[in-house]
């Protein structure tokens, strides 16, 4: 497997208008407070967001994650985030993602996840991808099915686990 950290952070272009890029906590903190989560914990302040982004960066440096900001290249706005989190045990990557509300329904996340999935399978050489979502999050479930994830099982707290195997990609 070819896991993080990489000599050069991999930036991924998604068409002409969207790019997946490294978030620089000290430069873009004002833009990402509402997008900052770590282990389900949401940042409430700029200081919280800075702490969470530093944890994410530390995980990347240790080889346990890779986190991209989803940037609108026309105006430079960070509109979402996605990546692999919680390590890569058993050649498995856990995907996490979120997108600001005004950008929903524009295929931005579907396109971003297609690029991240391809990166996970072809560059990182992962064998399996996993997503955990709330049972009531029907939009995410529809997106995952569109991306060929299969519902694997129900977890505690009304969560569902979806899996995509490299052989199905």
| Domain chopping of the chain, boundaries | 12-126
Look at the domain 12-126 and name its fold.
Answer: Aminopeptidase (3.40.630)
pLDDT tens sequence across 109-124? 999 999 999 999 999 9
3-state helix, strand, coil in the chain (%, to 5): 35, 30, 35
Most confident of 9-18, 51-60, 68-77, 142-151: 142-151
What percent of the chain is modeled with pLDDT above 90? 67
pTM of the model: 0.91
Q: How far is CA 23 from the centre of its chain?
A: 12
Q: How far apart are CA 88 and CA 127, in angstroms?
A: 10
Count the Cβ atoms, other than its own, within 10 Å of residue 89: 9
Q: How far apart are CA 53 and CA 168, in angstroms?
A: 33
């Amino acid at each position: 497997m070819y896991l993080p950290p990489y000599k050069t952070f991999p930036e991924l272009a998604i068409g002409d208008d969207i790019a997946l890029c490294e978030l620089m906590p000290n430069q873009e903190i004002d833009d990402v407070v509402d997008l900052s989560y770590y282990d389900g914990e949401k940042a409430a302040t700029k200081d919280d967001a800075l702490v969470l982004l530093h944890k994410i960066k530390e995980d990347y440096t240790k080889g346990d994650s890779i986190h991209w900001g989803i940037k609108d290249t026309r105006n430079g706005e960070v509109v979402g985030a996605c990546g692999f989190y919680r390590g890569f045990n058993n050649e498995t990557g856990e995907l996490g993602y979120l997108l600001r509300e005004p950008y929903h329904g524009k295929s931005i996340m579907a396109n971003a996840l297609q690029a991240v999935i391809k990166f996970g399978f072809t560059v990182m050489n992962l064998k399996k991808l996993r997503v955990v979502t709330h049972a009531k999050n029907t939009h995410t479930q529809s997106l995952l099915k569109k991306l060929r994830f299969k519902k694997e099982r129900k977890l505690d707290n009304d969560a569902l686990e979806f899996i995509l195997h490299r052989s199905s990609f």
